[in-house]
Structure 1
Amino acid sequence: MSDLPPVHDGVHATVEAYAAAVRTADPEAVRAVFRPDAHMWGYLGPRFVSAPIEAFCEVVAADTAAHEWAASYTHTVRSVEVSGEVAVAVLDEYGYQGHDFTNHFSLVREDGRWRIAGKTFFRHDPR
């Protein structure tokens, strides 16, 4: 059991479910942690990306090399902050498809269930 307050546990569990879904390249599990109207913004190297979350689900579904990187994939939920029925969480990923990412998630609780409403991310490319 975590030392987090119970409401933080729900947010933390949603972020952990996201990490498990990408590790197993499971687009349905990814869809399950996001609101259907979720959007993502961020940087893949110098390229700015803005797309509905379904575009990310398509990337996950097309990942035929997960068996090559998943064993070395790790992640850390760096922070969780809850304000009533909304929350923010930061997830650091190491080795996702061969890259390191920092993800900032905005979450909302609707009908008692936490889901990610927005993903803002940055890929850390070698310098």
Structure 2
Amino acid sequence: MILFLLAQITPVQPIVKGTGLPPAVVSEESGVLVPIDALFAALAARDPQAVLAAMRPDAGATVAEEKPDGTRSVRHMTAVQFAAMVKPGPERYAERISDPAIEIDGDIAMVWAPYVFTIDGKPAHCGYNHFDLVRESGRWKIQNVTWSSRTTSCVAQ
């Protein structure tokens, strides 16, 4: 004996031609990443003005560097000094973060993530990025970027 199961099929109306899908919902977390992605694109383009556009005018940048010989240094700079380090050249720069931890409270946010900075596809340095962001007039901007930097044990992502 063969049993047939009857399933009720809900009819689906055809999509009206010329209409697109609704716009993707942008999460608050993805919004926080917008200026960080813009900063990385500015570094790749080697565009100091685009670096400044991702940051607040009074922003800062701090690097805690560990050299291969074990010596360490910490250097703080203004956004303008940070952007001035970005110079034209033939090398291809790329920075990638992975698994960012994002915390948001009202109009402030924090992003913490491991990164690898490559030059012409080869790891140049790596460490962790820490971004402080502020939302003003509905747009996130970088208030401060702090990163550790080492040249050992860096693997391209």
- TM-score class, shorter-chain normalisation, is 0.7 to 0.9
User: Aligned to 1:115, which of 110, 124, 141?
Assistant: 141
| Distance in 1 of aligned mates of 2:110 and 2:59 | 14
Shift of 1:88: 0.5
| Distance in 1 of aligned mates of 2:24 and 2:74 | 36
Equivalences for residues 64-103 of structure 1 within 5 A: 64=89, 67-70=90-93, 73-77=94-98, 78-97=100-119, 98-103=124-129
Specify every segment of 5 or more residues in structure 1 that has no aligned partner in the other structure, as ranges: none
| Secondary structure of the structure 2 residue equivalent to 1:68 | coil
Tell me the matched-pair count. 121
More helix by share: 1
> Who is 2:79 aligned against?
53
| TM-score between both structures, scaled by the size of structure 1 | 0.81
Q: 1:51 to 1:29 in 2, by over 3 A?
A: same
Using CA pairs below 8 Å that are at least 6 residues apart, which structure has the higher relative contact order? 1
| TM-score between both structures, scaled by the size of structure 2 | 0.67
Percentage identity across paired residues of the two chains: 27
Q: 1:91 to 1:32 in 2, by over 3 A?
A: farther
Specify every segment of 5 or more residues in structure 2 that has no aligned partner in the other structure, as ranges: 1-22, 67-71
| Distance in 1 of aligned mates of 2:57 and 2:80 | 8
> Who is 1:36 aligned against?
57
